[in-house]
Amino acid sequence: MNKVEKLKQLNETLNQYRDSYYNDSKSEISDALYDVLYDELVELEKETGIIMSNSPTQTVGYEVKSKLEKVRHSHPMLSLDKTKLASDLVEFANDKDCLLMHKLDGLTILLTYENGELIQAETRGDGEQGELITHNAKAFTNVPLKIDFKERLEIEGEAIITYDNFERINSRLPEDKKYKNPRNLVSGSVRQLDSEIAASRNIKFIAWKVPIGIDTNSMCERLMIVRFMGFDVVNYWAYANKSSDRENIHNMIQNLKCRAKENGIPIDGLVMSYNDIEYGKFLGTTGHHPRHSIAYKFYDEESASTIKEIEWSMGKTGDLTPVAIFDDVEIEGTTVSRASLHNVSILKDLQIGIGDEVTVYKANQIIPQIRDNHTRSDNVIIPDTCPVCDGFTIIVKDNDTEVLKCNNPECKGKLLGRLTHFCSKNAINIKEMSESTIEFLINKGWVTRFDDLYHLDIYADEWTKCAGFGKKSVYKLLDNIEKSKNTTLDRFIYSLSIPLIGKTASKAIFKHVNGDITDFYDKLINGYNWTALGDFGATMNESINSFGRHNCLWIKELATNFIFEIPKQNAQNYGMNILEGKTFVITGSVNHFKNRDELKDRIENLGGKVSGSVSAKTDYLINNEKTSNSSKNKKSKELSIPIITEEEFLSMINN
């Protein structure tokens, strides 16, 4: 046993004796022997330069803060990319040595030392700034207050509460105050203003990264060095680039799971990181996560919450979607309080009721969803009148799915949804025309149909006198409406909210009629067979023709407001269908285009197609992150579909 281990053991032993003496009135050893052990601890602290936060030699008073101050981190503390496949870990490691370690389920903390003393502790927060919790970190059971290291040292790790301590603390709390899991308990404890509360919770700090201070390029060596300084370090396996480790990955995972369970350590997965720190830095980051590590999740992060109410939200087609409103919960680093239930069928299947306890998660770590309802009181009444216009509602079955619709064709909610879509960026693109402004115009009675937007100048004087608007903002908006008259046919078609006709279908129609509004209108009123376009099936064909039969007159009138142009890029390449017959999928961030829509436009203007998902019909996946573990990358590899970068795409079309 080395001196640091001996020091930590003496801390634990003496604290047990002190607990028995002061709390249970028991003397487990004589005063003389206690003094011998105490003196030995004092000498070890002098020799090693290490003083732990729980050392009996320290009489640190508890500190109460008036508030938790914000602090900007010295470096970004980003969350990690995630996977649920062990094979992705092998693929991530490739030919590099890695560490496979516990993904601790607590609160991420950054400790900073200068001249051997703990000077600052901060929470991860939003990754750019967190909260100062130095007063509470000094009350953790295993944080060194002093170390034998004079340079600046930063250590990232996790504040955790072990399962046995969690059960002990929870058992003392009334039912309505109990915590759901150790993560919630440690988060609430660390962010207290009074450090005495943190001290009573037996919080541990487990180090898993040393970003600043130790001059070695090996992650493993850095963790070993801070272990000798007195820090508890995360459990890990060294993963080497050899066939035995690749074949043994499942055993490594199971071993780490067992070690966590045996020690009562809360984990929600594992993390694999490159041992070569400089290589990891060289790979850089995406907008969301660093490329030096990947998290292997055992399951979706989820949390329990209570339903407060059900809102009915209207879409542009008149569908009324139930939205569950529940108590705030934190999932995947963000606060969530609402989730769409999509339709009446799902509402009924979950038997949702007000006051029900539900499990909430994020599908693909993005979209809030309700996984299960534990109460199932089924007391939500499906409204028989529209919450927007008070018109009657009806339940319509669509492929065995029940959908609630407003039956009033003049419903302002339908108009609001359709007008908001009409003005949106990818449609007619009336800049600064917000949903709240559209709602204002509808309520004033100035806009009752799309065409009215182009005659708002008659209300200009009255509009400038309305609360929330001024002369400058009104005339700027009128100018933006005027500018929107110069558009392209594909945008116009997309803006109409034709069921099943999205951006891709609108562009296909645009190309088919050569951008000619007259040709489009003729085909629309004469029931053209749109299946001639290839990707249009019978359902899409019926949808556009049905829409045309019922709306052709106002569409023709609306079109008179516009000057339809062929986009400049399309004019340059018109007839140069070099991507004809090729289907692309785009994922990830882009560098050479403003956004993915601009890249999509380039492909379609050159005769290609863009799909939202990878399938056997896909020819290329464009992704600047070829080594990413995204679902689209995985699917492309399974189907042997080439993954190309933007640079490779540009080379393809410019050669």
Q: What residues act catalytically?
A: 103
Between CA 570 and CA 565 the distance in angstroms is 10
Distances (CA, A) of 416 to 179, 389, 496: 43, 12, 13
Let me know: does 160 contact 206? Beta carbons within 8 Å: yes
Q: Spell out the SS3 assignment of 555-581.
A: HHHHHCCCEECCCHHHHHHCCCCCCCC
Going by their DSSP bridges, the two strands 129-131 and 70-72 should be labelled as antiparallel
Query: Per the structure block, which two tokens stand in for 66?
Result: 């008036």
Q: Which amino acid is at 18?
A: R
Residues 6+ away with beta carbon under 8 Å from 651? none
Between CA 417 and CA 422 the distance in angstroms is 9
Between CA 572 and CA 89 the distance in angstroms is 46
Using DSSP's 3-state secondary structure scheme, residue 466 falls into coil
Which residue, chain included where needed, has tokens 């990413």? 628
Cα–chain center distance at 587: 16
Q: Which of 615, 628, 619, 611 is nearest to 648 (CA)?
A: 619
Edge-to-edge, what's the strand order for the sheet holding 144-146? 51-52, 144-146, 117-123, 107-114, 153-160, 204-212, 232-233
Q: Which helix (H) or strand (E) holds 144?
A: strand 144-146
Which residue, chain included where needed, has tokens 């990818």? 426
Q: Which amino acid is at 570?
A: N
Q: Which of 47, 49, 57 is nearest to 11 (CA)?
A: 57
